[in-house]
Amino acid sequence: MSQNEETKVREARYFSEAFHKKIVKDIEDKLTTVAGVCRDYEVSRTSVHKWIRLYSLNYQKQIVKVVELESESHKRKLLEKELAETQKVAGGQAVEIVFLNKLIEIIETTFDIDLKKNINSKSFAGLENIRKKEKPPV
């Protein structure tokens, strides 16, 4: 297209609901086709199919049926089971971590030591001596 030629501007059009219903009825009665409507009225296939979904008496939403091999189904079930077990273990580990952190906190307040800081130091080895001293005589 050269610069001298004007570009064709398309008018905004509106088709009434009655028009939509008439077109859909004509398609259902096999008087015309979707392609024919698109060509005659210069509308997109998407628009025509939207009209059919909205106004057709015979239109039923399509049901999607998943077809897979038995081995794929079995594999999926095994993976779902494994995922559930992993989540259960992870939950148990989270509870254990909370428990151990609380235990460390109790030990630190009871024996007045920073257990996390001194885990590898000599003061940690002295914990045994403290325990022995606190035991009541039998």
DSSP secondary structure string for all residues of 94-135 = HHHHHHHHHHHHHHHHHHT--TTTSTTSHHHHTHHHHHHHHS
Q: How many CA atoms lie within 13 A of 106 on its CB side?
A: 6
pLDDT, tens digit, for every residue of 78-87?
999 999 999 9
Cα 95 to Cα 26, 85, 89: the distances in Å are 67, 15, 10
Tell me the pLDDT of the chain averaged across its residues. 81
Q: How many CB atoms lie within 10 A of CB 18?
A: 9
pLDDT, tens digit, for every residue of 81-134?
999 999 999 998 999 999 988 988 898 888 888 877 766 655 555 555 555 555
CA angle, 47 as apex, 42 and 51 as ends, to 5°?
120
Position 2 pLDDT exceeds 60: no
Residues above pLDDT 90, as percent of the chain:
39
Q: Which of 21-30, 59-68, 76-85 has the lowest mean pLDDT?
A: 59-68
Measured in whole angstroms, the distance separating CA 98 from the mean position of its chain's CA atoms is 29
- Cα–Cα distance measured from residue 117 to residue 125, given in angstroms and rounded to the nearest whole number: 13
